[in-house]
Every structure is written in C-alpha cells, then in structure tokens.
A = this chain, B = another copy of it.
Amino acid sequence: MPSPFGIIERIFALTKNRWLSDLHWVRAGQQTRSQKTQAALLDAAETLFAEQGVEHTSVAAIARQAGCSVGAVYHHFRDKKAVLYALFTRLTDEIGATTQAAVDPNRWQGATIVDIVHGYLEFLLRTEQGKIAFKHLAMEYARQDDELREHFVALQAELDDGLTRLLLARRAEIAHPEPRIAIGFVLDQLSSMLAARANTSLAPTQLGSRPDKRFEREVLRSVSSYLQLATPAKEDVS
C-alpha cells in the first residue's frame, strides 16, 4: 500500500477554466526545479509552436529548446496536446484578467466614447507581437476543437459585453438612430481591423504600411462619424 505522499496527484491544472476535461492534466510539481522545468517547457513550446506550427514541432524539439529531455516532458504533461492546452490556459487567463481590468466602469469615470475607443486601440496596438502570433495560432487550432473554440468565444463575449456596457452608458453621445446596433457594429469593426492588422505576414496593404498614429486617427474619425457623436453629455456618465 503506497503512502499518502506516494500517490501521484493528477490535478486539473487549469482550474480557473470551465473547459477542462480529464485529459488535460499537468503534474503539480513538488520541488522548486519542477516548476522551473515546467515553465521552461511552456516557453519553449510557445516559441516553437508560433514559429513552426504545432504539427511541425516535435516533442523532442520542445525538450531540446527547454534544455531537458523527452522524458521530462512526459513527466509533466500527459501528452503533446496537454502542453498546448496548458499554453491556452496561460494565454486565456492573461487575456481574461486584462479584459476584466479594462472594462471596469470605475476605470473610465468621466471618459467619452472617443476616449474609450482610443484606449482600446492604444492597448491592443501595443501588445507584444509574440503573444499575438501565438494567439493567432491558438485561434486557428481552436477551429478544430469544440472545447477551445467555446472558450475563445466566451472570452470574446466577455470583452464585447463589457465594452457594450461602457458605450451604452454613454448613449447620450450617440445620434445614430439605433445605438445598440451601432455599438455592436463598431465593436466588430474594431476587432476585425485589429485582428487583420495583427496578422503580420498577410496584413492588408494599406494598414500594414501605415503607422499606428495615422491608423488610430482614421479609426476615431470613422467611429465618430458613423455613430454621429455629439458633444459628450458628461452628466449621463455614471
């Protein structure tokens, strides 16, 4: 009979997320070096996946890049797919936290619609390129995986809902006849353009060659004219 301490603990590494099935465990390390190795493996995998794609990255290559052996990989992760899931978690936890902070109404006290849209642009345009490359890859991979797809959709909805609330609270600024619809349209417009611009290799011709500042200016002009923004009615903003 094994001692209680001898039992291998298989935990749901990604407890914050809804979408984790039994298959995606990672080992809960009990030594300091365990955590270091695990982090090194995830970093290595993230780099290689983004560079070469998941399929072209062998487990051996991940181990090599992380400076450990193949055996170590399988000590920490059930299989190659579990590595990918763990990376998803790291990414989506980060995005989720950022989103929550970004759409907090207190953060935007007294801000106009233009201020909010501007802040949104500023933030996403300055996000680290490596992260974006991996996010793209992750979303592409999520197409073929129901669990991951739902998770991404939920994340996007969280951001959309938060922004919608912020803008709806300022609907007094909007002269467009259907403010709700107009807000939804603007948010889609923004996320589409930012997604396209983030695609470094195949970005649209014009966007790619235009600096951020000019891009921001035209986006704000477009949003303002479409929503028919009036002078902000400060007293309506909670």
| A193 pairs with B189, CB closer than 8 A | yes
Q: Given contacts A185-B206, A225-B228, are A142 and B201 in contact (CB under 8 A)?
A: yes
How far is B55's CA from A221's CA once the two chains are assembled, in angstroms?
Answer: 44
| B225 pairs with A204, CB closer than 8 A | no
Instruction: Kindly report which residue of chain B lies nearest to residue A225, judged by CB atoms.
Output: B225
| Contacting residues, chain B, for A210 (C-beta < 8 A) | 184
| B142 pairs with A202, CB closer than 8 A | yes
Kindly provide the distance from the CB of A87 to the nearest chain B CB, expressed in whole angstroms. 18
A101 at the interface (CB under 8 A from B): no
| B53 pairs with A144, CB closer than 8 A | yes
| B157 pairs with A202, CB closer than 8 A | no
How far is B58's CA from A229's CA once the two chains are assembled, in angstroms?
Answer: 55
A32 at the interface (CB under 8 A from B): no
Which of A55, A191, A197, A204 gathers most chain B CB within 10 Å? Answer: A204
Kindly provide the distance from the CB of A210 to the nearest chain B CB, expressed in whole angstroms. 8
| A192 pairs with B204, CB closer than 8 A | yes
| B202 pairs with A153, CB closer than 8 A | yes
| A222 pairs with B218, CB closer than 8 A | no
- 8 A Cβ contacts from A158-217 to B: 160, 181-182, 184-185, 187-189, 191-193, 195-197, 201-202, 204-207, 210, 214
Chain A residues near B (Cβ < 8 Å) = 52-53, 55-56, 139-140, 142-144, 149, 152-153, 156-157, 160, 181-182, 184-185, 187-189, 191-193, 195-197, 201-202, 204-207, 210, 214, 218, 221-222, 225-226, 228
